Structure 1
Protein backbone atom coordinates (compact mmCIF):
# COMPACT_ATOMS: atom_id res chain seq x y z
CA UNK A 1 0.00 0.00 0.00
CA UNK A 2 1.31 3.47 -0.91
CA UNK A 3 2.30 5.88 1.82
CA UNK A 4 -0.54 8.23 2.70
CA UNK A 5 -3.21 5.76 1.59
CA UNK A 6 -5.33 4.34 4.38
CA UNK A 7 -7.84 1.53 4.50
CA UNK A 8 -11.48 2.55 4.70
CA UNK A 9 -14.04 0.23 6.21
CA UNK A 10 -16.88 -0.84 3.91
CA UNK A 11 -19.46 0.55 6.35
CA UNK A 12 -18.07 4.07 5.79
CA UNK A 13 -18.78 4.04 2.05
CA UNK A 14 -22.11 4.90 0.46
CA UNK A 15 -22.51 4.41 -3.28
CA UNK A 16 -25.09 3.78 -5.95
CA UNK A 17 -22.45 2.31 -8.25
CA UNK A 18 -22.09 -1.44 -7.87
CA UNK A 19 -18.68 -2.08 -9.44
CA UNK A 20 -15.56 -2.20 -7.27
CA UNK A 21 -12.22 -2.71 -9.04
CA UNK A 22 -9.47 -3.94 -6.74
CA UNK A 23 -6.49 -3.71 -9.12
CA UNK A 24 -5.33 -1.00 -11.50
CA UNK A 25 -4.57 -3.75 -14.03
CA UNK A 26 -8.29 -4.62 -14.09
CA UNK A 27 -9.40 -1.04 -14.95
CA UNK A 28 -8.37 -1.42 -18.62
CA UNK A 29 -6.33 1.79 -18.42
CA UNK A 30 -4.19 3.00 -21.30
CA UNK A 31 -0.85 1.18 -21.14
CA UNK A 32 1.14 4.42 -20.80
CA UNK A 33 -1.18 5.71 -18.09
CA UNK A 34 -0.79 2.43 -16.21
CA UNK A 35 2.99 2.83 -16.44
CA UNK A 36 2.58 6.32 -14.94
CA UNK A 37 0.32 5.01 -12.16
CA UNK A 38 2.85 2.39 -11.11
CA UNK A 39 5.76 4.79 -11.67
CA UNK A 40 4.09 7.29 -9.34
CA UNK A 41 4.15 4.64 -6.63
CA UNK A 42 0.56 3.45 -6.60
CA UNK A 43 0.49 -0.32 -6.15
CA UNK A 44 -3.19 -1.04 -5.50
CA UNK A 45 -6.11 1.36 -5.67
CA UNK A 46 -7.35 2.85 -2.41
CA UNK A 47 -11.01 2.45 -1.42
CA UNK A 48 -12.05 5.67 -3.16
CA UNK A 49 -10.04 4.77 -6.26
CA UNK A 50 -11.61 1.29 -6.38
CA UNK A 51 -15.08 2.86 -6.46
CA UNK A 52 -14.73 6.20 -8.26
CA UNK A 53 -12.24 5.86 -11.13
CA UNK A 54 -14.43 3.60 -13.29
CA UNK A 55 -17.69 5.59 -12.98
CA UNK A 56 -15.81 8.77 -13.96
CA UNK A 57 -14.22 7.00 -16.93
CA UNK A 58 -17.67 5.73 -17.93
CA UNK A 59 -18.99 9.31 -17.92
CA UNK A 60 -21.06 9.21 -14.75
CA UNK A 61 -21.31 12.20 -12.46
CA UNK A 62 -19.45 11.41 -9.25
CA UNK A 63 -19.58 13.09 -5.87
CA UNK A 64 -16.83 11.70 -3.67
CA UNK A 65 -15.77 12.73 -0.22
CA UNK A 66 -12.89 11.21 1.69
CA UNK A 67 -10.33 12.13 4.29
CA UNK A 68 -7.03 13.72 3.37
CA UNK A 69 -4.46 11.25 2.09
CA UNK A 70 -6.91 8.66 0.74
CA UNK A 71 -6.18 9.12 -2.97
CA UNK A 72 -8.78 11.61 -4.19
CA UNK A 73 -6.37 13.52 -6.43
CA UNK A 74 -5.18 10.25 -7.95
CA UNK A 75 -8.78 9.23 -8.49
CA UNK A 76 -9.90 12.16 -10.60
CA UNK A 77 -6.49 12.53 -12.28
CA UNK A 78 -6.33 8.90 -13.45
CA UNK A 79 -9.93 9.05 -14.68
CA UNK A 80 -9.37 12.33 -16.54
CA UNK A 81 -6.17 11.07 -18.15
CA UNK A 82 -7.93 7.92 -19.33
CA UNK A 83 -10.62 10.02 -21.04
CA UNK A 84 -8.24 12.41 -22.84
CA UNK A 85 -8.00 12.11 -26.62
CA UNK A 86 -4.28 12.67 -27.17
CA UNK A 87 -4.83 13.56 -30.83
CA UNK A 88 -6.81 16.66 -29.81
CA UNK A 89 -4.47 19.48 -28.72
CA UNK A 90 -7.08 21.55 -26.90
CA UNK A 91 -8.46 21.66 -23.34
CA UNK A 92 -10.58 18.60 -22.55
CA UNK A 93 -10.55 18.56 -18.74
CA UNK A 94 -10.71 21.34 -16.17
CA UNK A 95 -9.67 20.72 -12.57
CA UNK A 96 -10.42 23.48 -10.08
CA UNK A 97 -8.83 23.93 -6.67
CA UNK A 98 -9.51 26.47 -3.89
CA UNK A 99 -5.87 27.59 -3.60
CA UNK A 100 -2.89 28.19 -5.86
CA UNK A 101 -0.82 25.74 -3.84
CA UNK A 102 -3.34 22.93 -4.28
CA UNK A 103 -3.73 23.70 -8.00
CA UNK A 104 0.05 23.43 -8.46
CA UNK A 105 0.11 20.21 -6.43
CA UNK A 106 -2.64 18.72 -8.61
CA UNK A 107 -0.76 19.78 -11.75
CA UNK A 108 2.35 17.95 -10.52
CA UNK A 109 0.39 14.77 -9.79
CA UNK A 110 -1.30 14.85 -13.21
CA UNK A 111 2.02 15.46 -14.96
CA UNK A 112 3.65 12.60 -13.06
CA UNK A 113 0.82 10.19 -13.88
CA UNK A 114 0.92 11.31 -17.54
CA UNK A 115 4.72 11.05 -17.77
CA UNK A 116 4.57 8.37 -20.50
CA UNK A 117 1.65 9.98 -22.34
CA UNK A 118 1.57 12.74 -24.94
CA UNK A 119 -0.46 15.08 -22.73
CA UNK A 120 0.15 18.69 -21.81
CA UNK A 121 -1.09 20.10 -18.49
CA UNK A 122 -1.31 23.84 -17.81
CA UNK A 123 -1.95 25.61 -14.50
CA UNK A 124 -3.95 28.86 -14.52
CA UNK A 125 -3.41 30.19 -11.03
CA UNK A 126 -3.34 33.98 -11.24
CA UNK A 127 -0.30 36.11 -10.62
CA UNK A 128 1.17 34.99 -13.93
CA UNK A 129 1.35 36.62 -17.33
CA UNK A 130 -1.87 36.58 -19.34
CA UNK A 131 0.22 35.98 -22.46
CA UNK A 132 1.86 32.92 -20.85
CA UNK A 133 -1.55 31.55 -19.86
CA UNK A 134 -2.91 32.12 -23.38
CA UNK A 135 0.10 30.28 -24.83
CA UNK A 136 -0.21 27.45 -22.31
CA UNK A 137 -3.91 27.01 -23.01
CA UNK A 138 -3.38 26.81 -26.76
CA UNK A 139 -2.45 23.11 -26.75
CA UNK A 140 -3.02 21.91 -23.18
CA UNK A 141 -5.44 19.02 -22.83
CA UNK A 142 -5.81 19.38 -19.06
CA UNK A 143 -6.13 22.73 -17.30
CA UNK A 144 -5.72 23.01 -13.55
CA UNK A 145 -6.81 26.30 -12.08
CA UNK A 146 -8.02 28.33 -9.21
CA UNK A 147 -10.16 31.41 -8.75
CA UNK A 148 -8.63 34.65 -9.90
CA UNK A 149 -9.62 37.63 -7.77
CA UNK A 150 -9.73 41.01 -9.51
Structure 2
Protein backbone atom coordinates (compact mmCIF):
# COMPACT_ATOMS: atom_id res chain seq x y z
CA UNK A 1 0.00 0.00 0.00
CA UNK A 2 1.64 3.26 -1.14
CA UNK A 3 1.53 6.45 0.87
CA UNK A 4 0.90 9.74 -0.81
CA UNK A 5 3.90 12.05 -0.92
CA UNK A 6 1.99 14.55 1.24
CA UNK A 7 1.42 11.95 3.96
CA UNK A 8 4.98 10.70 3.62
CA UNK A 9 6.40 14.22 3.96
CA UNK A 10 4.18 14.90 6.96
CA UNK A 11 5.33 11.66 8.61
CA UNK A 12 8.95 12.54 7.83
CA UNK A 13 8.62 16.00 9.35
CA UNK A 14 6.95 14.54 12.46
CA UNK A 15 9.76 11.98 12.80
CA UNK A 16 12.42 14.70 12.42
CA UNK A 17 10.63 16.82 15.02
CA UNK A 18 10.52 13.88 17.44
CA UNK A 19 14.22 13.20 16.93
CA UNK A 20 15.24 16.86 17.36
CA UNK A 21 13.43 17.04 20.68
CA UNK A 22 15.60 14.32 22.20
CA UNK A 23 19.05 14.51 23.70
CA UNK A 24 20.65 11.49 22.02
CA UNK A 25 24.37 10.83 21.93
CA UNK A 26 26.16 9.75 18.77
CA UNK A 27 27.95 6.45 19.36
CA UNK A 28 30.36 4.51 17.16
CA UNK A 29 29.00 4.11 13.65
CA UNK A 30 25.96 5.98 12.39
CA UNK A 31 23.36 5.09 15.02
CA UNK A 32 22.08 7.49 17.63
CA UNK A 33 21.71 5.63 20.89
CA UNK A 34 20.79 5.91 24.54
CA UNK A 35 17.23 6.64 25.38
CA UNK A 36 17.36 6.73 29.16
CA UNK A 37 13.75 7.33 30.24
CA UNK A 38 12.60 4.46 32.44
CA UNK A 39 8.97 3.97 33.49
CA UNK A 40 8.45 1.81 36.56
CA UNK A 41 4.77 1.15 35.79
CA UNK A 42 2.61 0.96 32.69
CA UNK A 43 0.50 3.78 34.15
CA UNK A 44 3.55 6.09 33.95
CA UNK A 45 3.91 5.54 30.18
CA UNK A 46 0.95 7.67 29.10
CA UNK A 47 -0.75 4.76 27.34
CA UNK A 48 -4.37 4.72 26.19
CA UNK A 49 -6.71 3.53 28.92
CA UNK A 50 -8.01 0.66 26.77
CA UNK A 51 -4.46 -0.43 25.96
CA UNK A 52 -3.69 -0.51 29.68
CA UNK A 53 -6.78 -2.69 30.13
CA UNK A 54 -5.47 -5.06 27.50
CA UNK A 55 -2.01 -5.21 29.08
CA UNK A 56 -3.38 -5.96 32.54
CA UNK A 57 -5.96 -8.43 31.17
CA UNK A 58 -3.10 -10.25 29.42
CA UNK A 59 -1.62 -10.81 32.86
CA UNK A 60 1.27 -8.38 32.79
CA UNK A 61 1.29 -6.51 36.09
CA UNK A 62 4.70 -4.81 36.10
CA UNK A 63 6.81 -3.92 33.06
CA UNK A 64 9.99 -5.93 32.48
CA UNK A 65 13.30 -4.09 31.97
CA UNK A 66 12.87 -3.93 28.19
CA UNK A 67 9.29 -2.74 28.58
CA UNK A 68 10.33 -0.04 31.08
CA UNK A 69 12.78 1.42 28.55
CA UNK A 70 11.28 0.30 25.25
CA UNK A 71 7.59 1.15 25.05
CA UNK A 72 7.80 4.95 25.33
CA UNK A 73 10.25 5.45 22.41
CA UNK A 74 7.84 3.46 20.19
CA UNK A 75 4.98 5.64 21.39
CA UNK A 76 6.96 8.76 20.51
CA UNK A 77 7.33 7.49 16.95
CA UNK A 78 11.07 6.92 17.14
CA UNK A 79 12.91 4.28 15.15
CA UNK A 80 13.87 1.68 17.74
CA UNK A 81 16.28 -1.25 17.82
CA UNK A 82 16.17 -3.28 21.01
CA UNK A 83 17.72 -6.54 22.07
CA UNK A 84 16.89 -8.75 25.04
CA UNK A 85 16.90 -12.39 26.01
CA UNK A 86 14.05 -14.74 25.17
CA UNK A 87 11.03 -14.47 27.44
CA UNK A 88 11.66 -10.88 28.57
CA UNK A 89 8.61 -9.31 26.90
CA UNK A 90 10.02 -8.00 23.61
CA UNK A 91 6.87 -8.85 21.66
CA UNK A 92 4.60 -7.14 24.17
CA UNK A 93 6.96 -4.15 24.09
CA UNK A 94 6.71 -3.41 20.39
CA UNK A 95 3.06 -4.49 20.20
CA UNK A 96 2.19 -1.99 22.95
CA UNK A 97 4.09 0.76 21.15
CA UNK A 98 2.33 -0.01 17.88
CA UNK A 99 -1.12 -0.24 19.46
CA UNK A 100 -0.61 3.09 21.23
CA UNK A 101 -0.02 4.80 17.87
CA UNK A 102 -2.87 3.19 15.92
CA UNK A 103 -5.90 5.21 14.93
CA UNK A 104 -8.70 2.73 15.63
CA UNK A 105 -11.13 4.80 13.52
CA UNK A 106 -9.01 4.29 10.39
CA UNK A 107 -9.38 0.68 9.25
CA UNK A 108 -6.27 0.61 7.06
CA UNK A 109 -2.99 -1.14 7.62
CA UNK A 110 -1.03 1.23 9.84
CA UNK A 111 1.58 -1.24 11.04
CA UNK A 112 3.38 -4.11 9.38
CA UNK A 113 5.46 -6.39 11.57
CA UNK A 114 7.81 -8.62 9.61
CA UNK A 115 8.57 -12.04 11.06
CA UNK A 116 11.02 -14.65 9.75
CA UNK A 117 8.81 -17.64 10.59
CA UNK A 118 5.15 -18.59 10.48
CA UNK A 119 5.20 -19.41 14.19
CA UNK A 120 6.59 -16.04 15.19
CA UNK A 121 4.13 -14.18 12.94
CA UNK A 122 1.26 -16.06 14.57
CA UNK A 123 2.66 -15.40 18.06
CA UNK A 124 2.90 -11.68 17.30
CA UNK A 125 -0.69 -11.71 16.00
CA UNK A 126 -1.85 -13.42 19.19
CA UNK A 127 -0.11 -10.90 21.47
CA UNK A 128 -1.28 -7.93 19.37
CA UNK A 129 -4.89 -9.20 19.50
CA UNK A 130 -4.75 -9.78 23.26
CA UNK A 131 -3.20 -6.42 24.12
CA UNK A 132 -5.50 -4.62 21.69
CA UNK A 133 -8.64 -6.47 22.73
CA UNK A 134 -10.23 -3.38 24.31
CA UNK A 135 -9.15 -1.15 21.40
CA UNK A 136 -11.19 -3.06 18.81
CA UNK A 137 -8.23 -3.30 16.46
CA UNK A 138 -8.12 -5.76 13.61
CA UNK A 139 -4.92 -7.78 13.25
CA UNK A 140 -4.07 -10.52 10.77
CA UNK A 141 -1.08 -12.71 9.99
CA UNK A 142 -0.55 -13.79 6.40
CA UNK A 143 1.44 -17.00 6.47
CA UNK A 144 1.91 -20.11 4.40
CA UNK A 145 -0.30 -23.12 4.94
CA UNK A 146 -3.49 -21.04 4.92
CA UNK A 147 -6.07 -20.28 2.26
CA UNK A 148 -4.83 -17.29 0.26
CA UNK A 149 -8.36 -16.24 -0.72
CA UNK A 150 -9.29 -16.01 2.96
CA UNK A 151 -6.27 -13.79 3.59
CA UNK A 152 -7.30 -11.59 0.67
CA UNK A 153 -10.86 -11.34 2.00
CA UNK A 154 -9.69 -10.35 5.48
CA UNK A 155 -7.19 -7.81 4.17
CA UNK A 156 -9.75 -6.32 1.78
CA UNK A 157 -12.17 -5.84 4.69
CA UNK A 158 -9.46 -3.80 6.43
CA UNK A 159 -6.98 -4.43 9.20
CA UNK A 160 -4.99 -2.10 11.44
CA UNK A 161 -1.85 -4.27 11.68
CA UNK A 162 -0.46 -7.28 9.87
CA UNK A 163 2.29 -9.86 10.40
CA UNK A 164 3.43 -11.69 7.31
CA UNK A 165 5.60 -14.73 7.91
CA UNK A 166 7.40 -17.16 5.64
CA UNK A 167 5.24 -18.82 3.00
TM-score, structure 1 as length reference: 0.85
1:140: which partner in 2?
159
Distance in 2 of aligned mates of 1:137 and 1:84 = 17
Larger Rg: 2
Pick aligned residue for 2:112 from 77, 94, 114: 94
Q: 1:17 aligns with which of 26, 32, 35?
A: 35
Q: Secondary structure at the match of 1:128?
A: coil
- Greater length-normalized contact order (CA 8 Å, ≥ 6 residues apart): 1
Flag the structure with higher helix content: 2
RMSD across aligned positions (CA)? 1.1
For the residues of structure 1 that align with 2:151 and 2:124, how far apart are their CA atoms? 17
Q: 1:33 aligns with which of 51, 73, 82?
A: 51
Aligned to 1:145, what secondary structure does the other structure show? Answer: coil
Residue 74 (str. 1) matches residue 98 (str. 2):
no
Q: Alignment partner for residue 71 of structure 2, among 46, 49, 53?
A: 53
TM-score of the aligned structures, taking structure 2 as reference length: 0.77
Offset from partner CA, 1:82-111 (integer Å, 9 cap, x none): 010001111001111111111111111111
Give, in whole Å, the separation in 2 of the partners of 1:90 and 1:62.
Answer: 23
Aligned-partner Cα distance in 1 for 2:136–2:49: 12
4+ residue stretches of structure 1 with deviation over 4 A? none
Count of aligned pairs? 134
For structure 1, list consecutive stretches of 5 or more residues without a partner in the other structure. Answer: 1-14
